[in-house]
Amino acid sequence: MIKIIQDFLQDATTQSIHVDEVVDEQLLVSKKNLWDHSLAFFNNIVAEVKSAQLTHIKVDLQVELNRDVNILVGAPEDEESLIDSVDIFAMPEVIISKPRKELWCPKIELYTCPIFFDIDGLGQDIFILYEEYRTIEEKQEGLEFTRWLTVSYVNDTITNTL
């Protein structure tokens, strides 16, 4: 894994890689196993990044949550309700990228907030963001919000303010 990360950091043209597409990882299809395995995979990558003392790198775990309503739901209140809302039909993504400073345009209706409860097995240097959004087209068609949870580790000696 560390070789994949080092090659990525040396490639000036590539801004991010989806580790889950590069590494053959089998995730068990049940909410609890999917959640636990995804966190373990994320933690293993972060541990390798730390042990190799790599800098200017961001590691994200993105987990899609159920989207069964067309109103804002808000962030889960605790880890149990978070696990209950994991979409077992959407495979979590682990993304390694170079930290960027540019702004991104909101997708139209957008709700974001940090998760205010501890998640077992994650270190103190991990940031967790809950997001709900829908595009203009989805809003016009009365479709439901997309719900994501992004678990992030950033090691950037200049911009690490999380």
Per-domain boundaries in the chain: 2-155
Which DSSP category does 144 fall into? P
Residue, of 93 and 23, whose pLDDT is higher: 93
- Model confidence pTM above 0.85: no
For the chain, state the CA radius of gyration.
16
| Max avg pLDDT among 27-31, 65-69, 113-117 | 113-117
Q: What angle do CA 11, 123, 9 make, to 5 degrees?
A: 5
Nearest CA to 108 out of 146, 75, 64 is that of 146
What per-residue confidence (pLDDT) applies to 89? 78
Stretch 108-137: mean pLDDT: 84
Is residue 55 very low, low, confident or very high in pLDDT (cuts 50, 70, 90)?
Answer: confident
Is residue 149 very low, low, confident or very high in pLDDT (cuts 50, 70, 90)?
Answer: confident
What per-residue confidence (pLDDT) applies to 160? 42
List, as one string, the DSSP characters of 63-116. EEE----SS-----SSHHHHHHTB-TTS--EEEEE----------SEEEEEE--
What per-residue confidence (pLDDT) applies to 103? 62
Which DSSP category does 152 fall into? E
